[in-house]
Amino acid sequence: MAKAMTLLWGAGSPPCWRVMITLEEKNLQGYNQKLLSFDKMEHKSKEVLDINPRGQLPTFKHGNTIVNDSYAVCFYLESKLKSQGNKLIPDSQEEQALMYQRMFEGLTFYDKLNAVIYYDWFVPEGERHESALNRNKEALTTELKLWEGYLQKLGSGSHVAGPSFTLADVVIFPTVAYLFRFGLSAKRYPKLGEYHNLLKDRPSVKASWPPHWLENPEGQDTLKDI
């Protein structure tokens, strides 16, 4: 099965990481993969555009089936291989409801993080304003407090949508890992820190850890004051 799958990905990209965690969770090691460089604009190459006209990563193909959005790939793999590897969608409809809610809230979480750590990347130099960046930081702070509260309510040792590891964790953990990579204080956000520590050594997460993070484990301090 894995041999019929191809993933084009970029290192450190949370959307790519989501897919790679899911592939590991479903015991699909040995899939075809190619690491592309964002810096070299390889995600805009003909190789990618032929499969994904948006020129984005991840780009995923299984036989003749092409799925490019990271959430869609995760759902596709779990739907296709429910009985293989770890179950990522709980049976309980109540647990499913919370999982779906947290998954799609995760998109807002990811966007608010990007608006801070990649502000200079997204906004041309002549259009940058300190006040705008400060508003983005305030929005991220509000979001962080929301997730801190979610985890507080679920109790110590919980995953993001309940007791079990689900697709919600697949898509949220890369965002949380990025927060701490960029200097978020675990003392200021202890529940997010606890959650990060809970999952960072999970086999699927370790197997797909961004290679350049392994080479340079120090990270940055962009979020130290958030």
Tens of pLDDT along 166-215? 999 999 999 999 999 999 999 999 999 999 999 999 999 999 999 989 88
- When the candidates are 3.20.20.30, 3.40.30.10, 3.30.70.360, 3.20.20.70, the CATH number that belongs to 2-81 is 3.40.30.10
Find residue 204's DSSP bridge partners. none
Contacts 24+ apart (CB under 8 A), 158-163: 159/195, 159/198, 159/199, 160/102, 160/195, 161/95, 161/98, 161/99, 161/101, 161/102, 161/103, 162/90, 162/95, 162/98, 162/99
- When the candidates are 3.30.9.90, 3.90.230.10, 1.20.1050.10, 3.30.2010.30, the CATH number that belongs to 93-215 is 1.20.1050.10
Domain residue ranges of the chain, discontinuous segments joined by +: 2-81, 93-215
Cβ atoms of residues 192 and 144 within 8 Å: yes
Tens of pLDDT along 108-159? 999 999 999 987 877 788 888 989 899 999 999 999 999 999 999 999 999 9
β-pair type (59-62, 65-67): antiparallel
Tens of pLDDT along 74-99? 999 999 999 999 999 999 999 999 99
Nearest in space to 74 (alpha carbons), one of 90, 55, 88, 54: 88
